[in-house]
Amino acid sequence: MHVSKDPTGLYGLMAEFDSAQSIVDASIKAVAAGYTKLEAYTPIPIEELNDIIHKKRTVLPRLVLFMAFCGMMTGFTLQYWASVIEYPLNIGGRPLATWPAFVIPSYELTILFAALTAAIGMIAMNGLPQPYHPVFNVERFSLASSDKFFLVIEAADTHFATDQTGSFLQGLGAKGVYDVAY
């Protein structure tokens, strides 16, 4: 299985698992063993893995809320400025600042800004687009988007030692352990 003679050229070690439950169990044990630089790759979203491995939740919702507010203000000030300041048009003596009529475009821009922030923010915070990543060097990793589950422990981890980490991953019930080259 795992034979590595050159630990310097290594991104980390990758263990392959068969099921969602086995990678969750393996992640719990790897975190308990003190590893901190590790990542799980799965073909389905497993929300629990983020809580186990990274423990931190994303700030994306707060960013979206802030941008939603910006969208609302943009919509409202645009209409107020155009209708009251830039080109006031007196129609039958009706008020210029007709805020109820301005609600709908403001509402739509709130949603537009928030939705674009959610989508672009998710992609950007995930570091995408990213054409190259070392995990793609492992041939079996192409199954990570179909039916296999992978756990990678990075060589940069302070607890990382090629042989011990390799046998540790074997001990977790991995179906295979592979070197991840840079």
Partner 1 sequence: MAQPVHAQSSATTLDHPVIGPGQNYETITEAVAQIPLSKGYRFDWVIGFLIGLGLLSVLQIAIGMLLVKGIYIWGNNVPVGWAFDIINFVWWIGIGHAGTLISAILLLFKQQWRMSISRFAEAMTIFAVACAALFPLLHTGRPWLAAYWLFPYPNTMGLWPQFRSPLIWDVFAVSTYATVSVVFWIVGLIPDLATMRDRATSNVKRVVFGTLALGWRGSARHWHRYEVASLILAGLSTPLVLSVHSVVSFDFAVSVIPGWHATIFPPYFVAGAIYSGFGMVLTLAIPIRAAYKLDHLITMKHIDNMAKVMLATGLIVAYGYGMEAFFGWYSANPYERFMLWNRMTGPFGWSYWLLIFINAVLIHVLWFKSVRLNLKYMFALSLIVNLAMWLERFVIIVTSLHRDFLPSSWDMYAPTKWDFMMFSGTIGLFLTLFFLFMRFVPMIAMFEVRTLLPEAKVHVPRGHDAHGSGH
Positions that interact with partner 1 (CB under 8 A):
19-21, 24-25, 27-28, 39-55, 57-58, 60-61, 64, 75, 78-79, 82-83, 86-87, 98, 101-102, 104-105, 107-109, 111-112, 114-116, 118-119, 121-123, 125-126, 128-133, 135-136, 142-147
User: Which CB sits closer to partner 1, 104 or 161?
Assistant: 104
Closest separation between CB of residue 11 and partner 1, Å?
13
CB 179 within 8 A of CB 59: no
Report the residue number, 33 or 112, with the smaller CB distance to partner 1.
112
Query: Which structure tokens are listed for 147?
Result: 């039916």
Distance between CA 31 and CA 28 in Å, rounded? 5
**Residues 97, 100, 102, 104: what is their CA dihedral angle, to the nearest 10 degrees?**
180
Tell me whether residue 93 or residue 131 sits nearer to partner 1 (CB atom).
131
CB 5, min distance to partner 1, A? 27
Q: Point out which residues pair with 84 in neighbouring strands.
A: none
Cα gap 26→23, rounded to integer Å: 5
Nearest approach, Cβ of 22 to partner 1 (angstroms)? 8
* Single-letter amino acid code for the residue at 167: S
Cβ of residue 180: shortest distance to partner 1, in angstroms? 12
Q: For the purposes of burial, counting CB atoms within 10 Å of the CB of 173, is it exposed (0-12), middle (13-18) or buried (19 or more)?
A: middle
Residue 9 vs 136, nearer CB to partner 1: 136
